[in-house]
Structure 1
Amino acid sequence: MIRIIAIVVLVSIACRWIFGKWPWDYLQSTPTREQALSKARKLLGVAPGADHREIRDAHRRIAVLVHPDKGGSKAQIQEANAARDLLLHELPYEIPETPQ
């Protein structure tokens, strides 16, 4: 029994040394779609029931703050764009209003 425990410990240490991660780190689940949606809502500051207009308005507010021309970074604006696209993709298709 002690041999098995010693082997497991050595394999774990070797895994950490070679790959930079503990073996149990590989067992953690990858982020789910719900977690991604939650993160996107938090980034844009919208409620779960937000419609197309609310999402676009929130994106515009964030984009003004994090735009590279205003002192933000390219990564921040890309993250805001990805959050907007993810949330808009989850909503049913919006029929554009036609001027009358």
Structure 2
Amino acid sequence: MTGGLIAAGLGLAAVGFGARYVLRNQALIKKGMESLPVAGGFNSYYRGGFDQKMSRSEAAKILGVTPSAKPSKIKDAHKRVMIVNHPDRGGSPYLAAKINEAKDLMESSKS
């Protein structure tokens, strides 16, 4: 019984000290967050939908690669994006189809 009270008190103290640290160092934390690298340039989203006929630049944006990416980069990017968006894991079948279309377009135009 007293062990639970002691653990709860220590937990509240830790939360209090953590909150005090955050409040005192907001500028430092903000500067640190801004300096973190953003993988694939996802800090700003592409505004717009899909084109009627997919272009090479649209396919590159979907996969997160450059339009002149090598086949190995295209394959790795497709795998990475598909793992997150696969319908068997709760992703959208439409997005999975678009990801596959992007990979096919990027690979076919490289050959």
Q: Settle same-fold status: TM greater than 0.5.
A: yes
**What residue in structure 2 maps to residue 62 of structure 1?**
81
Local SS of the residue matching 1:48: coil
Deviation of 1:43 (Å): 0.5
CA RMSD of aligned residues (A): 1.9
| Runs (5+) with no aligned partner, structure 2 | 1-50
For residue 84 of structure 1, what is the aligned residue in structure 2?
A: 103
TM-score by length of 1: 0.56
Whole-angstrom CA distance in 2 between matches of 1:32 and 1:75 = 14
Q: Distance in 1 between matches of 2:83 and 2:64?
A: 14
Name 1:51's counterpart in structure 2: 70
Equivalent pairs counted in the alignment come to 61
Q: Distance in 1 between matches of 2:105 and 2:97?
A: 12
Q: How many percent identity over aligned positions?
A: 38
How far apart, CA to CA, are the structure 1 residues paired with 2:69 and 2:89?
27
Letter of the 2:61 partner, please give it. Answer: K
Q: Structure 2-normalised TM-score?
A: 0.50
